[in-house]
Amino acid sequence: MLAPRPPRLVVHQGYEWLYVLAGTLRVLVGERDQVLKAGGVAEFDTSEPHWFGPADDKDVEILHLFGPRGDQPANWIT
């Protein structure tokens, strides 16, 4: 769950995947500015300036996956 907050772009190593479970999510990546509704997805390289949070004054529920390397899947436990 993400509560409303002002945008603050960050940069770090890795790759992120976002899936909106409920609410409306605003995603800023570089010069791109998108609003996603429930069922919407985003993925991006975190070396680009980015921020995500509620698109309005209500909380948004997301599934957020972060990987240090976007080119390889994590080691799975079998």
| Token duo for residue 56 | 């309005």
Q: What totals of helices (H) and strands (E) does the chain contain, helices first?
A: 0, 6
Q: Give pTM, 2 decimals.
A: 0.83
Gap between the Cα atoms of 59 and 20, Å rounded: 11
Residue with tokens 């909106």: 20
Per domain, the residue ranges of the chain are: 15-67
- Contact (Cβ atoms closer than 8 angstroms) between residue 46 and residue 11: yes
**What per-residue string of b and e applies to 9-39 under the rule 16 or more CB within 10 Å gives b?**
eeeeeebbebbbeebebbbbbeeeeeebeee
Q: What is the pLDDT along the chain (78 residues), one digit of tens a residue?
A: 999 999 999 998 888 999 999 999 999 999 999 999 999 999 999 999 999 999 999 999 999 998 766 555 544 444
